[in-house]
Structure 1
Amino acid sequence: MVTSLRNRLVRRHVLKGLSGLSAGLLLPRLSGPRQALATSAGAAVTAFPPDVTTQPPRQWGPEAPPSYAPDPDVMVIDRSFRDLISGHATIHRVWNGGVWLEGPAWSAEGRYLLFSDTVTSQQYRYLWETGEVTLFRPESYHSNGNTFDYQGRQISCEHFLRRVVRWEHDGSVHVVADHFESKPLSSPNDVIAHPDGSIWFTDPGYGDSLAEGHADAAGGEANPDGRIRWRVGEELIGAIGGMHRQPDHTFRVDPSGRIDVVLTQDQLPNPNGLCFSPDFSHLYVISSGRQNGAGGHDGDLAVHEFDLHRQELPLSNPRLFTNMRFEGVQMIPDGLRADIYGNLWCGVSGPLGLCGVFIFNPEGHLIGRIRLPHGVSNLTFGGPKRDWLFMCAGGALYSLQVNTQGAGPA
């Protein structure tokens, strides 16, 4: 009885201390008396972890009360960001039925948002007219990144079969790439389309795992001791992708079908999200860290920029766009997209209260943030006017109307 009363008093004291924090601050690491409090009553503090996204903690979903406007989780760092957001717009959680969502892409012809659940190996679509989310492909071969080209055809990266495919208008599927120099790909991750008909994609080893694809054969980087039964699951679809992880590359597939390496593993290890500038004069690529259990190489968790000359490879003038450090914390970038003004909107993971979306101007300066209760894997602009930002965060899909437009295929 005494212990129960003591725990209730400790919890009340902790919550009272938290109530005075500003909604815009990240909780500091406990020290001094707070550290002693956490040590002496660890069970109570652990059972009720603070939510630092907003204070009081924000509620999500159809039953949640309306959010304040302007939204406290859309944060202006530089005055220029105010021109990119709508003061009346608030963040909405559109859907919360996934496990790990990736690859949002807007279909202009279909007026829907396509996205993948890499873990359940399914694709979904959000219907603009009704707001309903429906199952689109019950088996997507653990697809990750998606895009639509300038003819409105869906292009997807499939981890399980370790390939990039394009769905034609008649419903047939065309394999864009599954090999390079007679060796299979590793696990194509993110993909973008160029108006010249070329397709650009990154090929790290993130999909060489049980959760999002299949491991390597015995001896491969993702299965060095051979304990993982890497062929389990093949019987469900009658096929399986490559057997061994290859070096990290960023590729360009010419309209003729020729595949070229635009960035090698030495130039940019662990390539992840990528996008073009609005005028296609620059390419931005994220170098991510090593995924647990997947082997591979360590990237620098930064966004890199390259000059892109029409009909000319390799890329030139490599430089750091941003190191993705914020308030002394190394954030983890994943996917990114550009708006029509050349600003980059980048999905990031990190401590609760910092994760969400970071927005950079073309010079690489952070001008704004969108806070979400989970790290954002990828994002895109959609809606009939391309003025809605859709964000995949864990198993949930979020949306926010903005005062700009995406620079992708219209």
Structure 2
Amino acid sequence: MLKKLFLFLLGIIMLSCKTSKNQSIIEENTKPILISDEFKFTEGPAADAEGNVYFTDQPNNRILEWSAETGEISVYMENAGRANGLYFDNEGRLIAAADEKSELWQINIDKKVKVLVDNYQNKRLNGPNDLWVDAKGGIYFTDPYYQRGYWKRQNPDIDKQRVYYLTPDKREVKIVADDLVQPNGIIGSKENAVLYIADIGAGMTYSYRLSKNGNLTDKKLFTEMGSDGMTMDEEGNVYLTGKGVTVFNKKGEKMAHIPVDRNWTSNVTFGGENFDQLFITASDAVYILQMDVKGNN
């Protein structure tokens, strides 16, 4: 009887430890560490296969690279099309939301640029902002309208601010969401076929199911918070940005808030050699935070 009671209690303790471990996402006694604040406005972090993180300094029109091995930052590309959001495709090429001319770029390994999209039905896009690549190589991208000082135009050619899908063969661009106020951040899970889109204009974030043809179905309110940029970890938790970084579990329940010492946190991703470092872009700075979970970039 005592043996059975001991095993029962041991099982409860082990279950409790497991639950605690799963809910722990931030390494104990850590906070974001400032890496550099030598920029004007940072955005769009994306990690390559080695964990190096590329990010944009949009006002300075350049893409920079943070080395996972050395921690040093170097200039990857000048004259970067005023790139905003970045993401690596399934072949390791960097895809950029280049809103100088409202284009979606593919930057090849040799740094040659190929324009993938620059219009929808012969109308100039508003300004591609953020993107995510699915398992088939199709690209979802948000297209809000933010009037830029470097534009000659003063009004959009397309009235609605939408989310588009560029098919894997790169031949078709189709609307997948046109009922949002101002879509901005976007992130998905290839394994679970789910996509999250932040409607920063409405202060909401929604989840969708991915169809085989790239269409979005089963729209659900995920949380009553918008976001500039987004990422996910291996547990399926979703990270939203704005005033620091706020983390939600799969159910849309708030798990944690990570304060960042800047007025605005624009974006976030996982990088580093083990993909367990949260790379944060915030106004004129970039930060690193050691995590207890790995990314699902």
The TM-score by the shorter chain falls in which range? 0.7 to 0.9
- The residue number in structure 2 matching 1:310 is 212
The structure whose residues are more often strand, as a share, is 2
Contact 1:114 1:124 in 2 (8 A): yes
- 1:186 pairs with one of 106, 118, 126: 126
SS at match of 2:31: coil
SS at match of 2:24: helix
SS at match of 1:119: helix
- The residue number in structure 2 matching 1:261 is 175
Distance (Å, rounded) in 1 between the aligned partners of 2:257 and 2:137: 33
SS at match of 1:272: strand
Query: What's the CA shift for 1:89?
Result: 3.4
Residue 252 (str. 1) matches residue 165 (str. 2): yes
Residue 369 (str. 1) matches residue 241 (str. 2): no
- The residue number in structure 2 matching 1:276 is 188
- 1:391 pairs with one of 275, 280, 294: 280
Question: Percent identity, aligned pairs only?
Answer: 28
The letter for the 2-side match of 1:263 is A
Mapping of residues 288-307 of structure 1, within 5 Å: 288-289=200-201, 300-307=202-209
- 2:220 pairs with one of 308, 319, 322: 319
The letter for the 2-side match of 1:261 is I
- The residue number in structure 1 matching 2:4 is none
Q: Which runs of 5+ in 2 are unaligned?
A: 1-18
SS at match of 1:385: coil
Distance (Å, rounded) in 1 between the aligned partners of 2:148 and 2:222: 30
Distance (Å, rounded) in 2 between the aligned partners of 1:246 and 1:81: 44
Contact 2:69 2:273 in 1 (8 A): no
User: Kindly tell me: are residues 180 and 384 of structure 1, through their superposed partners in 2, closer, same or farther at Cα, counting changes over 3 Å?
Assistant: same
Number of aligned residue pairs: give it.
277
| TM-score, length of structure 2 as denominator length | 0.88
| TM-score, length of structure 1 as denominator length | 0.64
- The structure having more radius of gyration, on CA atoms, is 1
Contact 2:167 2:214 in 1 (8 A): no
The letter for the 1-side match of 2:145 is G
Distance (Å, rounded) in 1 between the aligned partners of 2:214 and 2:46: 28
- 2:139 pairs with one of 199, 205, 209: 199
- 1:86 pairs with one of 18, 27, 37: 27
Name the structure, 1 or 2, with higher relative contact order (CA <8 Å, separation 6+).
Answer: 2
Distance (Å, rounded) in 2 between the aligned partners of 1:388 and 1:318: 31
Please tell me the root mean square deviation across aligned C-alpha atoms, in Å. Answer: 1.9
Query: What's the CA shift for 1:308?
Result: 1.6
Query: What's the CA shift for 1:341?
Result: 1.0
Displaced runs of 4+ in structure 1, greater than 3 A? Answer: 78-82
Residue 103 (str. 1) matches residue 6 (str. 2): no
